[in-house]
Every structure is written in C-alpha cells, then in structure tokens.
Chains A and B, each alone.
Chain A
Amino acid sequence: MNEHALRFGDNGNLIGIYTATSHPATRPGIVLVNSGVIHRTGPNRLYVNIARQLAAAGYPVLRFDLSAIGDSSPRGDAVSFEKSAISETSAAMAALGTHSGATGFILCGICSGADIAFLTARDNPAVVGAVLINGRGLHSVTDNSGDDGIETHASTLGSDASARYLLKSALFNPKSWRKLISGQVNYLELLRLLGGELLRPMAPRESRPDSAPALHAAFHQVLGRGTALLMVYSEGDLALDYMKLMFGKEIKKFAAYANFGEVHLPGADHTFTPRHSRDELIATLRNWADARFTH
C-alpha cells in the first residue's frame, strides 16, 4: 500500500492520508475535502476508494480532515469556519505538492466538501479543476440562508423524500455540524430548532437570495480563469434545487464554457450509498480527469 499519514497546517494540527502514484506524478494532485463531519475516509469509505483508484491512474491524492473534524485538532483562534476551511484546503494542496511534486490541483468534495472546494477554487489560482458533488452552499459555508431557501424551494418542487430526509440527517445538516465543530450543540435546542422548521409555513420563495449575484460572478471568475468545473448531481438531490434557486435559467449559460461539465447520476443518493453509484462516481471522476488533464 502506497499511503502515508501526513501532518501539516499550523503546528501540524491537520492530519491527512497521502496516496502516492507508483511513478513520478505528472498529473495534477487531487485533494478530497471533508463531507460534513465525516472524517477523511468519506461517506461509505468513498474517499478511500477514490484516492486509491485515482492514484493508480496517476493522480497523487490527499484526503484530509479540516480542523476539529476527524483526527485534526481544533484551531485555537477565532477565524471563521469559511476562512479556516479555505486556508486549510490550500494548506492541503501545498502539502500534497511538497510530497508529490504536483503544481496544479483538483479539489473534490461532496455536500459541504463541494462548497469548500468551490470557495477555495475561487480564491486560489493553483486550483486547475474542481469536482463539486451535491454542493448546496457554494455561495458561503457560513450562511445558512441558502439552506432555508432550498428547503422552501424543494417543497414547492416536490423534491424526493429521501433527499429531504438527508437534509435533516445529522451528518449533513450544516446547521448542526457547524455548531458541533464550535461546540455549540445542545440537544434540546436542536430539537426546538428542527421542530420550528417543520412548523414553518412552506411559502414559495420567488426572489433570488441576496448571495446569488456574487455566486454568479464567482462562477464566471473561476471558469473564465480556465479552471475546469465538474458539477455532479445525484438523482433528485437538493443540490439541483439549490442551483435552480441561485441561477434560474442563467445556469444554461455556463454550458458555453468548454471547461464546464455537468453529470447526473441516476440511482445515486446524496452519499452514494448503493455500491454501483460509488463505482459510477469514481469512473466519472477518472474519465473527466483523464479527458481534461492527460496531455
């Protein structure tokens, strides 16, 4: 096995697993970003399998834990989660570059991992590609307005029951895991919060969130810079509703970019629970990366 545990970041507080290629790497390095509070193995051990199969195909991979997730230590400062997540993902890219020699990087994440991957791609030009899987907070990982918007929007669109269930599921509810990280979780408070949400009138939301224009600009900025974006959606996932909410019909304009791609995976749920959906996702990543980055 060609894997090594790495410590990096401030005072070595971040822990990641580096999967090396068998030959000197000539392809971009891939960094896998935590999905919610699930540690670096990913949901259903998906990140482990992505790392091993992509490394076998020539891409060095680092999957790591953001501070206070998995085996990484909490930060001792008051930096916002969004800033620290972007900074730590950039630190992961640097660590992967040091060990593999890679100078360009592909970021990949599911759910909140997609959000952090996009925000880092927006801010860091060393990101040559990003695979955003079922992301629904691409505008900001510290602003929950999008979550509320999607929930309202999804109800009017008749989104599938399992996706709505997963929105409430502990491991993927941003409202809970962000609080968890900062130690603010209170069981009774959460019950009240969820009860309140369930009782809230489901009025259709007609206007775009205030954050939509900035997200538009960020997409054009990233794509205009040449960074390849692959949007991956599981069947019926709320991420689709999120994108409709934020972009409306404008979303079709991104297809004009040659470096923009979109894939829908039928039969996959939010966390790729069925075995075949995990295999299909990994094949999709491999094919996309080979098409974009093999010269």
Chain B
Amino acid sequence: MGNSIQDPTVAGYMGAADRQLFYCYHAPQGASTRPFGVVLCPPAGREYVFAHRTFRQLATRLSRAGFPVLRFDYFASGDSAGEDDEGSVEQWLDDIASAIDTFRNHTAGARVCLAGFRIGASLAALHAATHQDVDSLILWDPVISGERYVDGLLADHEHFLRLRLWREKTAMGADGVREIVGFLLSPRLESGLRSIRLDTLPAPARRALLMSSSPTADPERFGEHLEALGMQIDRQHVAWPEFWTGNEELDDVLMPPARVLQAIVGWAQGQEVPA
C-alpha cells in the first residue's frame, strides 16, 4: 500500500434530485484567508475533455493560494445528470446559479469571482450581466461570437469525417440533433449558443481579467467594449498552444498550461480589496 497524498477536496452532487450536478469543492489551504473565492465554469463538449486536467490544476493552485474554489459539470455533461442531447444555454446558466449557491453554502457566504474558459467564460459573463452576486470575472479565451463558435464546432466535425475518408457521413437525427465530434448539438443548444454575443453585453461586473492564451485570440475589441462600459479590465496574453482542440499538430501537448494558470492565480492574489 502506497502513501497517498492527502486530498481535502469534497466531491459530490448538488441541486434537484432529477437534475443533480456533480461538483468538487476545494477548501482554501494554508493560513491566509482571501476575501473572496472562485467558482469555475468549464468549457463544453470535447473542449472540456481536453481541459479537465487543466481545470483541476487551476482549482488546486487557487486553493493552495488560499482561495476557496468550486468547480462543477453542467447538466447533461461530465458526471452530471442528463442525456447527452439535453444541454442548453438556459439550463447551463441556471447551473452556474446553483454552483454559486453551493459555493456560498460551503463558505458561509464568501464573495464570488466567476472564472470561465471558452464557452464557460461566455456563460460566466452572461450570468454576471444579469445577477448581482459576482464581484469579479476571469474570462479566459472567451467565445465572443456564438455564431463563429458553432460554425467552428461543425467544421471540426467535418474535419473528423474527412479523416475517416471512405466512411459515410453521419446524418442529422430525426430530432434535429447533430454530432460534433463525439458530442451532440440539439437545435435548442445550437440556437442558444448562436445567440451569444459578448460584444453587446451590458457590464457584467466591476472588474475582470481578460486572459488570452490562444495565438489566434483577438480579445482587444471585447476588452475595449467592456472598458467603454466602465469596467476595470486587466488584459493578459500568455501564449500557449490551443490545448483544448484536437489539433493533431499539437501531438502530446497535454500538460496543463502552467504559465497561464500562474498568471490567473497571480491576478486573483492581487485582488485583495473587494470590488
């Protein structure tokens, strides 16, 4: 029997019995107690498969820096309840609200920084724009245009089909559900995702970190939009290959992007005064 490293993470389910969501709560480590904690909003579909390890590492690093952290799986994704084709933007926004409630139950009402990656960042911003329970945001390579995002997912699936060369194309189901490289895109989810336009969003919080790691990211216009709304925006670009894609040219780039995570934790540590 080996000597395992003790892990204080609480893993469990939250929410209504028929819509239970899996979550992990990472209690803050060490002596320091930060004035807020972080709720992590993951990406969706295949991007989450590639990013899961990174999300766990981000949660661990933040908790070691003294922040309470909660991460979770959206309905119909990961370990949460729901069939593969039952996800929707409306449901996932409700899930973020549930996650914040659960986080507050664990922390006796700590203030919330909502952090998201890719479509998770977009959902975090959408939630914050319509709720008053978010102090600050960390938006890491957010999906600015839902139209372009969905078109990209469908193009990825076409690329996958081309790799399979002689095989038949997968047809759309009678229910209108399409396949996107191992995951499903229902008409409802597609419609909700396509409607996302972060560059028309009202101010979601008083301050935000706009983190970009993708070499192709262009967050400038979005950052300017948020600044024009009176938000305090910190922009950081820490280049890293797009590890969340299945790009075969990346081969073995599976190590979490340490420099990006370090920059995010550093920014959070600098936000000692509640907004």
- Contact residues of A with B, CB < 8 Å? 1, 3-5, 7, 9-13, 15, 17, 37-41, 43-45, 48-49, 67, 70-71, 73-77, 79, 84, 87, 161-162, 165, 168-171, 173, 176-177, 180, 185, 187, 190-191, 194, 267, 269, 271-276
Contacts and interface: CB of A to CB of B under 8 A. Distances in A.
A170 B251 contact: yes
B164 to A, nearest CB: 5
19 contacts: A1-B20, A3-B81, A5-B22, A7-B11, A13-B4, A13-B5, A13-B7, A37-B53, A41-B78, A43-B182, A45-B84, A87-B1, A170-B253, A173-B251, A176-B252, A180-B254, A180-B255, A185-B254, A191-B251
B4 A75 contact: yes
B79 to A, nearest CB: 5
Contact of B4 (A5, A76, A271): A76
Contacts of A17: 22, 79
A187 to B, nearest CB: 6
B20 A273 contact: no
Given A40-B79, A43-B182, A271-B182, A161 B163 contact: yes
B221 interface: no
B79 A3 contact: yes
Contacts of A38: 49
B255 to A, nearest CB: 5
B274 interface: no
What 4 pairs between A and B have smallest CB-CB spacing?
A: A44-B182, A77-B2, A13-B4, A176-B252
Determine chain A's interface SS by DSSP, over half rule. Answer: mixed
Contacts of B18: 1
B252 A76 contact: no
A75 B77 CA distance: 28
B170 interface: yes
Contact of B7 (A44, A73, A161, A275): A73
B222 interface: no
Nearest to A269: B164
A194 B11 contact: no
B2 A84 contact: yes
Interface residues of B, number: 47
A79 B254 contact: no
Contacts of A171: 49-50, 254
B248 A165 contact: yes
A76 B6 CA distance: 9
Contacts of A269: 164
B81 A1 contact: yes
A40 B12 CA distance: 14
Contacts of A187: 252-253, 255
Q: Which of B52, B56, B81, B251 has the most CB of A within 10 A?
A: B251
A41 B252 contact: no
Nearest to B10: A5
A119 B96 CA distance: 41
Contacts of A7: 11
Nearest to A186: B255
A274 B170 contact: yes
Given A13-B4, A75-B4, A170-B254, A44 B183 contact: yes
Contacts of A45: 77-78, 84, 182-183
Interface in B3-59: 3-7, 9, 11-13, 17-18, 20, 22, 24, 49-50, 52-53, 56
Contacts of B183: 44-45
B56 A71 contact: yes
